[in-house]
C-alpha cells in the first residue's frame, strides 16, 4: 500500500474503538515500509557519496584503473538490490 493511503486511513479511523487493532497493524505496516525503504536508501546514499567522491579521479584514488569496472558493477548491483 502506498504511504499516503495508509496515513489517510490511519487518520480517518484512529478514534474508532472498533478498529483499534486494525489501526495498530496499519501503523506497524506503515513504519515497516518507511524503515525498509528510506533507511537503506539513506545509508546507501552516504556510502555512494564517499565512494564516488574517491573514484571521480583515479589519480587521487586508491582504487586502480583495472578494478574500476568491477567497482561500478558492484555499485549498480547494490542499487538494484536496494530498489528491489
Model pTM? 0.30
Q: What residues contact 10, with CB distance under 8 A and at least 6 apart? A: 23, 26, 27, 30
Domain that holds residue 77: 3-83
Q: How many domains does the chain have?
A: 1
Q: What residues contact 64, with CB distance under 8 A and at least 6 apart? A: 58
pLDDT in tens, 9-49: 556 666 666 777 777 777 777 777 666 666 667 777 777 76
| pLDDT for the residue 31 | 72
Distance between CA atoms of residues 35 and 29, nearest Å: 10
Amino acid at each position: 500500500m502506498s504511504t499516503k493511503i495508509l496515513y489517510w486511513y490511519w487518520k480517518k479511523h484512529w478514534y474508532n474503538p472498533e478498529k483499534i487493532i486494525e489501526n495498530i497493524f496499519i501503523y506497524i505496516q506503515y513504519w515497516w515500509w518507511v524503515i525498509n525503504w528510506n533507511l537503506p536508501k539513506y545509508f546507501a546514499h552516504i556510502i555512494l557519496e564517499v565512494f564516488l567522491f574517491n573514484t571521480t579521479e583515479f589519480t587521487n584514488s586508491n582504487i586502480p584503473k583495472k578494478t574500476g569496472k568491477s567497482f561500478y558493477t558492484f555499485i549498480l548491483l547494490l542499487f538494484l538490490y536496494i530498489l528491489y
